[in-house]
Every structure is written in C-alpha cells, then in structure tokens.
Chains A and B, each alone.
Chain A
Amino acid sequence: MTAALEASRLGKRYGGKWALSDCSLSIPTGRVVGLVGPNGAGKSTLLHLAVGLLAPSAGTISVLGARPGSGPEALARVGFLAQDSPTYDRLTVAAHLQMGRWLNPAWDDEFASSRISELELDVRQRAGTLSGGQRAQLALTLAVAKRPELLLLDEPVASLDPLARREFLSTLMEIVASRQVSVVLSSHLIADLERVCDYLVLLVSGRVAVSGDVDSLLASHRRLSGPRRDPSTMPGNLMVIEASHAVRQSTIVVRTDGPIIDPAWTVTPLTLDDLVLAYMRQARDGAGAPVSRLAMAP
C-alpha cells in the first residue's frame, strides 16, 4: 500500500544550518499522525517539504506516492493549513468559499456550506473580524472541502483558547470519521494531540527521535524503579531510553517487547507525555554516548 508520507534520509538546510537532517519515515495512510517536537525541531520544515513549498537539500520525500508539488494532480490530493490558519482578512466568508470553488476542481460545495452553517458563521462577515477559533474553523473547512486524501495541519490549535481548541479537534475528528482522509498535525505540546492522534512522530533538533503507532509505543515502554543499578548491566532485550539515579534508587525508562521479570523492579506504564519527554531528554543528553548502546554492552 502507498504510504501517506515516505521520507528517506531527508534533509533541509537553511544557509549553514540543517533544519532537518537524516529524516527517514514511513507513515501509513488512514492515520491521524501527531508530529511533535519542541519549537525549532523541524516540524514546519517537514510539513513544507511534504506540501512542496520547500525542496529537499538532501534525501527524498514522497507523499501519496508522488513527489510533493509535482503537478496539479499531486497538489489536489493534499490539503495544507499553515501555522495560525491564514485567511484573507478583508475578504468575506462567502468570498473565501467562492475562491475555494474556483481554485479546486474537486471542491465539495455541499460540505463547505453545511460546515459554515453549522458553525453559525455569517457569510457576509470579513475574515478579519472573526474570532481566532472561527478563523481556524473557516480555514479547516476550506482545506477539507477540496477533498484531499492527506491533510497537513501546522500547529492548528496553538493560538486557540481551550474551548476553541476542543471544538477544532472535535470538528477534525468528525471529518476523519466521515471521510477517507489521512491527517498529519503538528504541535509542540503532546497534550494537545494525545486524544486525537494514533500515530506519533517525535522530532528533536531536526531528527526523528521516535515514531510509530501510539498504542504499540505505549505497550512497549515501561518505567522501572528499584534499587540503584548501572543501566549498562540491564539485560540486552531492554533498550534503555532514559536513566536517572538517586543515592539508592534508579529510575529507568526502557523499550522492550517482552514482560519484565526481575522482581527488584516496580514496573509502571508510561503516558504518552512521559514517553515523549524521555525521548526528548535522550536526544538532548545522549548525543555523545547513546545510553541505549551502553545497555547493549555485555
């Protein structure tokens, strides 16, 4: 099956600085992907590469089996919502819809009109006078009405208040439930995406720190706490992601496929938030000597 997004050793350089480097990914279709990472991790760069607004400096990227932005057909299959849901301040809601109708061959007018009336937006109102939440909903409506197979949303809820955030995500999930569309949405806060995404891609400093199905990731990571212990003496089937030590106690986050049998450990599951933080710290602290390799030593 064609991947929604496939990248191989993808890199993007601005001047002397790599915003994204050595990024290899394969995201299946039909998923809601959370693209997470601190500010400046390369999330926007990856999305801009995926939509064809940027060209790679290294490696390759394909979206739904095609090179991004390679022609009208490739463009029609991808919907993109840039950061802060840009709309044209001086144009009315009706004019936005008219523009969508003119510019997109597969435009779904029925969907667009019914969304706008459900949102109780006055079509004569200028976009500049809408609230942040309403503007985001208008921009989402336009992006979905073009009937894309893949929807890319860059920090769609970052600037919204909690209620607007919840409403935006509800709308998005209703769309996922009723239409055949894969979604990639970015945020620097995993808490924003935890309920909605079933696939995680974590970027740290321009690299992929971890990616995969959320449920499998949660099932394969555990936090162990017990008497102080050198992480390099852990059994080889446990990959150490993060270890911290107090005088008498060690707390270790591991990735493993099997159960943890050593009775010395108190084993607890991780939340998605814990997991993301563990990988972020690993990426920050473990650059010189990967802790995971220490764990593999005999």
Chain B
Amino acid sequence: MEVIEFHLDPSSGVATYLQLVQQVHQALQLGLLEPGDRLPTAAQVVASLAINPNTVLKAYRDLEREGLVRARPGLGTFVVGQLPRTDPAAQEKFRRSMSTWLRSAREAGLAIEEIEAIYRTAVRNCLTEGVA
C-alpha cells in the first residue's frame, strides 16, 4: 500500500509533471508525507494514471533538486526533506482578506463568473511566472 496516490486534473491547464510535484508539496504541507516515506515507483504511477514514465521521472527529478526527495537506486524514491506546515493562522488571515476582496468585487457589480475568471487568470499568471 502506497503512502500517497496521485491523481490528475486534465482541465487544470497545469503540466502533468507539475501536478505531481504540487501534490507532493501539498502532501508534505499537510503532513501526509514525512521523511522516510517512499513515493510510488514510476511504474506504479504510470500504471495507475496511464502517463508517460518520463513525466514521473521529471517530477521526481524536480523534487530531488528541491532537496525534498532522494532516489535510492533499486529501492525507490524517498522523502528526505520537509516543507513548513502551513500555519493555520496564516491560512485564516488570507481567507479573511480573500473574503473582503470578494465582497468588494460583488459590491462593484462583478458577476461570479467574472470573479472566477479574474482568479483563474491570476493563478495561471502566477504559476507561469513560477515556471519561467
């Protein structure tokens, strides 16, 4: 039984390898993955998601470069680093400022669709900046 299982959102517009990287980040932040845990092998990910093995290897290389995992030949890829757990207080702070922002957008007469479009564009721009 693996510690985590990857899934994909084809409509997200986020590259597949990046989705895998982000899911590992998230699992580390939530404490679902801890140092010593083994990530699913490339063959396991490939079999469950029907994706190219190079995509998985690329994601694992990225994580290795970040110092979060280490590949041990013949044994698998293991978590060696940790990401700071998201601080609940910080989450609450941003949730509150987001609500304020949303309320002011509604008061300015923006429809939900417009607000969602603004949010999606901003997230995408933010992500592409991160990649470039």
Contacts and interface: CB of A to CB of B under 8 A. Distances in A.
B45 to A, nearest CB: 9
Interface residues of B, number: 21
A178 interface: yes
Nearest to A273: B10
Most buried by A among B47, B52, B132: B52
A169 to B, nearest CB: 4
Contact of B50 (A166, A215, A266, A271): A166
Chain A interface bracket (under 10, 10 to 19, 20 to 34, 35 or more): 20 to 34
Contacts of B48: 170
Contacts of B50: 166, 169-170, 173, 195-196
Given A170-B46, A174-B43, A196 B15 contact: no
Contacts of B54: 32, 198
B47 A173 contact: yes
Instruction: Tell me the dominant secondary structure on chain B's binding face.
Output: helix
A269 interface: yes
Contact of A173 (B13, B15, B53): B53
Interface string A247-283: 0000000000001000000101101000000000000
Nearest to A222: B128
A277 to B, nearest CB: 15
B128 A269 contact: yes
Interface in A190-240: 194-198, 215, 218
Interface in B8-56: 8, 10, 13, 15-16, 42-43, 46-55
A173 B48 CA distance: 10
Nearest to B131: A219
A195 B13 contact: no
Contact of B16 (A173, A176, A178, A195): A195
A197 B43 contact: no
Interface string A166-180: 100110011011100
Contacts of A266: 121
Contacts of A177: 42-43, 46, 53
B124 interface: yes
Interface of A: 32, 166, 169-170, 173-174, 176-178, 194-198, 215, 218, 259, 266, 268-269, 271
Q: Which 6 A-B pairs have the closest CB atoms?
A: A177-B53, A169-B50, A173-B46, A170-B50, A195-B51, A177-B43
25 contacts: A32-B52, A32-B54, A166-B50, A169-B50, A170-B47, A170-B48, A173-B47, A173-B52, A174-B47, A176-B46, A177-B42, A177-B53, A178-B43, A194-B10, A195-B8, A195-B16, A195-B49, A196-B50, A196-B51, A196-B52, A198-B54, A198-B55, A218-B15, A268-B124, A269-B124
Interface of B: 8, 10, 13, 15-16, 42-43, 46-55, 121, 124, 128, 132
Given A173-B53, A195-B50, 16 more contacts: A170-B47, A170-B48, A170-B50, A173-B50, A174-B47, A176-B52, A177-B42, A177-B46, A194-B10, A195-B10, A195-B51, A195-B52, A196-B50, A197-B52, A215-B15, A269-B128
